[in-house]
């Protein structure tokens, strides 16, 4: 069974590498991976939009944050009356937090395996003889990374750079403006 999966993986990687041709190497690889990050970000946002009640999530987030702020203030001021009142509300806050976590896990549960498979395949595509190839050349070196980036680092940077914008466009961001 493992031999079959190993062969399937290498066959898919070889087919993708052949299909990409010159898009495996800079500067086209740089653009391809950036577009891949956008596509995966849009896919994730669409799945989130379909599965998560963003309005309830935002409402819960505001309520939990307000409660936490009041709780910290009451702790600092040692206001026992306010703390007792806030403690009574704590079970409801914990239920809201649990619901927030459940809502946020829905898209993760749907996208995790397909995204890991894509990541695994493309990581193999951008390797030669088991060694990662340089896919992006930055005009300046980044600390700890340098100026020549592999698929892994260029995808991470690309994804981080577009995720917040994509989430805002699809209105699936829980970050308060």
Residue 176 in tokens: 């308060």
Chain-centroid distance of CA 132 in Å reads 22
Q: How confident is the model at residue 177 (pLDDT cuts 50, 70, 90)?
A: very low
d(CA 73, CA 124): 52
Per the model's pLDDT, the better-predicted residue between 173 and 80 turns out to be: 80
d(CA 177, CA 174): 9
pLDDT tens-place string over residues 58-87: 999 999 999 999 999 999 998 889 889 999
Q: pTM of this prediction? A: 0.82
């Amino acid at each position: 069974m493992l031999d079959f999966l190993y062969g399937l993986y290498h066959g898919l990687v070889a087919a993708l590498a052949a299909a990409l041709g010159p898009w495996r190497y800079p500067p086209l690889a740089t653009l391809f991976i950036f577009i891949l990050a956008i596509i995966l970000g849009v896919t994730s946002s669409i799945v989130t939009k379909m599965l998560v009640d963003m309005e309830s999530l935002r409402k819960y987030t505001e309520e939990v944050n307000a409660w936490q702020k009041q709780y910290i203030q009451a702790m600092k001021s040692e206001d026992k009356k306010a703390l007792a009142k806030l403690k009574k509300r704590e079970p409801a806050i914990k239920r809201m937090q649990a619901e927030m976590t459940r809502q946020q896990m829905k898209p993760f549960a749907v996208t995790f395996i397909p995204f890991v498979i894509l990541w695994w395949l493309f990581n193999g595509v951008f390797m030669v003889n088991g060694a990662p190839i340089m896919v992006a050349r930055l005009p300046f070196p980044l600390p700890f990374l340098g100026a020549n980036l592999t698929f892994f680092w260029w995808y991470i940077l690309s994804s981080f750079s577009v995720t917040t914008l994509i989430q805002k466009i699809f209105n699936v961001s829980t970050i308060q403006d």
